Structure 1
Amino acid sequence: MTNPFRIAAWGTAAAMLLIAMVLSVSLGSTIFSVSMIVDSIFHFDGSRDHIILRNVRFPRTIVTVLAGANLAVAGALMQAITRNVLASPGIFGINSGAAAVAVLLMVIYPQVTSSNLVFAAFVGGACAALIVYAMATAFKQTHMAVHLALTGVAIQAMLSAFTQTIIMFNEIQLDRILFWLAGSVSSRKWEHAAVLLKWSIPALLVAFTLGRSASVLSLGDSLAKGLGQRLALARGLMALIVIVLAGVTVSVTGPIGFVGLIVPHIARQLTGLDYRSVLPLSALCGALLLLLADLLSRYIVFPYETPVGIVTALIGTPFFIYLARRRKKEAKI
């Protein structure tokens, strides 16, 4: 892959992301012009339109961008750690684990703040990851990648059933929790954007510095050891970053699936196998994908909104089936 192609890929992704951000702020039940958006930033006059832009559209767009970047980078790191093209926070049950504990806390303590909900999501995501890995390693090593994915799907189903059971016994917040569980960036406020910014920016920066280690790990344990890579330390640090990125995203938006599965494949096709490029490009493409999915979700049943998690599931489910079938065929060769 030539350098001009990589430069073109980066430039195109960045330009499309900027356009998608403007469209995200502009489009909806009320459509705003670019001049109106600029005026709301530099010449705020307290009008209804300016208040909607500042307090509704801007935080929603920021939340969507950070959520997409977080999930995509988390998925790329997971695929490097496990050398498994089927890996992602959603498929491996991390999102469901984070959501289950977060919902439990919301039911027990309805006044819980977004800042505190993050820690519940961290605990749930970490526990789910440990359970999936422990159960998957109990199988024989044949088709290990598929076993990990199928175990993750099974654990995800179990945790989802647990979450639904919790909701059945507490219907006071039923509508709010069910919409959140479907994965939504609607009605996100500045406090949600602040939580994401607080955790996401440091975690993403650390993730980008792990690009070389991720590239070495993706080559296999034997070669990684030969190159001086400390496997346990590298995997542990990457796993921690994955849990932080996925956990904070779930605490704000609910469990949005398949972004972390799809985007790393796109990034590798555009920039090659070097994770020093794959990780930042995944962040760009993940933000772009979720912005486009959110824009589509606003018009599926207009004027009502569809949770963005449903849109990503419609896109991602066929992609997951395709990858699983291809992986199984490759294992037979």
Structure 2
Amino acid sequence: MTGVFIAQRGRFYFSIIVCTALLLTIFVLHVGLGSVYISPWDVIRAIVNCPAVEYQRWIVWNLRLPRSLIAPVAGGMLGLAGALMQALTRNPLAEPSLTGVSSGSILGIVLWLIYVPNAEKYPYLLPIAALLGGIGSIIIMYSITNKLKDGPFVLVLKGIVVSAILSSASSLFLIQNNDKLPTVMLWIVGSLNAKVWSDWSTIWPWALVTIPLSLCCCRTANVLQLGDVVSIGLGIRLQRSRLSLFLVAALLTASAVSVVGAISFIGLIGPHIARRLVGHNAYRVFPISMLISACLLLLADFVTQVASLVFGNVASGLPVGAITSLFGAPFFLYLVSRTRR
């Protein structure tokens, strides 16, 4: 038994080192990729303000670094949210969109664009509108779950219902104001295009709060995965514990969606790969899920940029959500087939 524990701990630390190294490698390559290619060594020199050529420092700091920072942070937050939802529901097919927050964020953007005069002139305020919409959906979910002793299935079912209602509301508003559709579509699919430092300023304070908060939920997540009877026997208050995990997952999702949009499948794939690597212990799954999901979103955005360079105008402005859906949908079908067996 001791040997198994040592082996699992060694595999966890090895996974941390490999995932971190992979993330840093993709990050440097991501910053260097563009119409003006910058070598990895020159990227590092530009980041530390010792550029080989002055224009490289300007390109890196003003055009590329915000996008390259936002991608792994948003991906890590979605991965943590997915791990929380899967632990809460004891279902490997659960993902952050089940909180209803993604739909609430989209509705916030729609209402902002329609009812705020000259909203297009203030694009840097769009993430704030999305965040307010996501927080609004969290309040709705809290109000309909706080009074009932909901099990995991009922909690997820309510999230799906709230998500459907909010999505329908967005559709009704867009039907009457279809000129706003092109802008909203980027948020519905999820995109990292044209991200600037103001977007980074929106996401990092939330990441600083929600990521440690989610890592503090590891013990509760481990106990909830043992089942209701065992959890009660160990002194866990089921309703409060489920609601706390749900709210933390919703906050993580709202923060990420408010900047990058409703990117799908990242919060599903990352935790699944993490469990295959380090087992089901939340103390190991949560940090590995965060790192893997960060790598996945950064890599997906790297693919969109390569496609834009190779195919030119045909793939110009390709949203990263299209890539995650393209590869995530087959992965989801694979998980469904394994679950049925």
TM class, shorter-length? 0.7 to 0.9
Determine if the alignment matches structure 1 residue 98 to structure 2 residue 105. yes
Stretches of structure 1 lacking an aligned partner (at least 5 in a row)? none
**Cα distance, 1:248–1:99 mapped onto 2, change above 3 Å:** same
Higher helix residue share: 2
**Cα distance, 1:307–1:97 mapped onto 2, change above 3 Å:** same
Determine if the alignment matches structure 1 residue 314 to structure 2 residue 321. no
Query: More deviation in 24-33 or 111-120?
Result: 111-120
**Cα distance, 1:75–1:24 mapped onto 2, change above 3 Å:** same
Instruction: Tell me, in whole angstroms, the C-alpha distance in 2 between the residues paired with 1:58 and 1:285.
Output: 20
The equivalent position to 1:30 in structure 2, one of 24, 28, 36, is 36
Query: What TM-score results when the alignment is normalised by the length of structure 1?
Result: 0.85
Q: CA deviation at 1:48?
A: 4.1
Stretches of structure 2 lacking an aligned partner (at least 5 in a row)? none
Partner of 2:221 in structure 1?
A: 214
Partner of 1:7 in structure 2?
A: 13
Determine if the alignment matches structure 1 residue 115 to structure 2 residue 132. no
Query: 2:109–2:184: 8 Å Cα contact kept in structure 1?
Result: no
**Cα distance, 1:240–1:128 mapped onto 2, change above 3 Å:** closer
Query: More deviation in 169-178 or 191-200?
Result: 169-178
Listed one character per residue, the Cα deviations across residues 137-174 of structure 1 (whole Å, up to 9, x for unaligned) are 8xxx9xx86x9878867875664454344234334544
The equivalent position to 1:237 in structure 2, one of 212, 229, 244, is 244
Query: More deviation in 80-89 or 68-77?
Result: 80-89
Query: 2:110–2:184: 8 Å Cα contact kept in structure 1?
Result: yes
Query: 2:141–2:158: 8 Å Cα contact kept in structure 1?
Result: no
After superposition, where does 1:111-190 map in structure 2 within 5 Å? Answer: 111=122, 112-124=125-137, 127=140, 159-190=166-197
State the one-letter code of the partner of 2:50: H
**Cα distance, 1:225–1:81 mapped onto 2, change above 3 Å:** same
**Cα distance, 1:321–1:32 mapped onto 2, change above 3 Å:** same
Partner of 2:93 in structure 1?
A: 86
Instruction: Tell me, in whole angstroms, the C-alpha distance in 2 between the residues paired with 1:129 and 1:265.
Output: 27
Instruction: Tell me, in whole angstroms, the C-alpha distance in 2 between the residues paired with 1:16 and 1:283.
Output: 13
Secondary structure of 1:28's counterpart equals coil
Query: 2:105–2:132: 8 Å Cα contact kept in structure 1?
Result: no
Instruction: Tell me, in whole angstroms, the C-alpha distance in 2 between the residues paired with 1:149 and 1:192.
Output: 30
Query: What TM-score results when the alignment is normalised by the length of structure 2?
Result: 0.83
**Cα distance, 1:60–1:152 mapped onto 2, change above 3 Å:** same
Listed one character per residue, the Cα deviations across residues 30-87 of structure 1 (whole Å, up to 9, x for unaligned) are 2112343234332369954322211221110111011100100001001111112121
Instruction: Tell me, in whole angstroms, the C-alpha distance in 2 between the residues paired with 1:159 and 1:129.
Output: 15
The equivalent position to 2:336 in structure 1, one of 303, 324, 327, is 324
State the one-letter code of the partner of 1:188: K
The equivalent position to 1:248 in structure 2, one of 235, 244, 255, is 255
State the one-letter code of the partner of 1:89: P
Secondary structure of 2:38's counterpart equals coil
